[in-house]
Structure 1
C-alpha cells in the first residue's frame, strides 16, 4: 500500500462534500477542484470572472502550501469554465500566477459549477 495522507488547510475553502482538499500519495499530491470561494465566508469572491480566476488559484496555492509545495510544483491542471469565451482571461491570469515551464493543462466547458461559480480548477502536484 502506498504512503497516503490527507492534506487540509483552513486557508482554502473547506470541502463542501465528501472529499478531501488534497490527498498525498508518496511525492504526488492530488488537489481537489477549487472554486472561487473566500475561505473565511465560503461565499464567491465576486461575479467578475477575472477575480474568480485569481481566487481559484489563490485557493489552490493555499492547498499546495499545506502540502509543502507551491503552484510551481503543479504538473497538471484541469480547468472547468461555464463560458469558454473567458478562456483568454484564464491564460492571462495563469501567466500572472505561474512561472515557466507552465503545467500541462486541459480546459473544459461545463454547463454549471457548484454555488454558481464560473470557474473551477483541479491539479496534480509533485514535490
Structure 2
C-alpha cells in the first residue's frame, strides 16, 4: 500500500511539473458584430479563436416564426465562420437551445441545408426562455480550422 501511495505522490509531482511548465497565457483572436472584439454590456465575444479551434457564442434567431429564426441565426453563424476563413464543414459541435423543440424538428431542413450532409456532433435542448425574449432558438458551435504550417 505504501508503494502505491508513493507512486501516486510521484505522479502528482510529475503532473504539477508538467502543468507549471505550460505558458500562463493563451493567444485569443476575438470577433464581435460591428467590428468590435467583444461586447461589454453582456460581457462576451461572439467568436474566439484559440490555436485552430473556433468557439462561436450562441447566435439567437430573429423573425416571426421558427423557420425565419433558424435562417437568420445560421446566416449569422456563417458570417462569423467566414470571418475566420471557415465554413460549416469546419463545425464539429453544435448546441441548439430552443423554447419549442417540436418547431425546430419541423424546420430541421433549414439547419441541414447549411451543413450539406456533413453534420456535426449536436445537442438540442429545450429551455424556458432565452436572453432575447423574442428569440425562440439560439445556436452555439465549435469549429476546427486547418492548422497553419
TM-score (structure 2 length as normaliser): 0.71
- Pairing of 1:21-40 with structure 2 (within 5 A): 21-36=46-61
Deviation per residue, 1:30-82 (Å, 9 max, x gap): 0000002xxxxxxx3x2211000110100111111112111221110000010
Deviation per residue, 1:71-125 (Å, 9 max, x gap): 2211100000101111323421122211222111000000011222000000001
- How many aligned residue pairs are there? 117
Root-mean-square deviation (CA, aligned residues, Å) is 1.9
TM-score (structure 1 length as normaliser): 0.83
Unaligned runs of 5+ in 2: 1-24
Q: Which has the higher contact order (CA 8 A, sep 6+)?
A: 1
Matched residue, 1:39? none
- Distance in 2, matches of 1:106 and 1:28, equals 19
**Which of 34, 42, 48 is the matching residue for 1:10?**
34
- Distance in 2, matches of 1:99 and 1:67, equals 20
- Pairing of 1:1-127 with structure 2 (within 5 A): 1-10=25-34, 15=39, 17-36=42-61, 44=62, 46-116=63-133, 117-127=135-145
- Distance in 1, matches of 2:141 and 2:81, equals 10
- Distance in 2, matches of 1:72 and 1:49, equals 23
* Higher share in strand: 1
- Distance in 2, matches of 1:58 and 1:5, equals 21
Q: Secondary structure at the match of 2:26?
A: coil
- Distance in 2, matches of 1:74 and 1:9, equals 20
- Rg bigger for which structure? 2
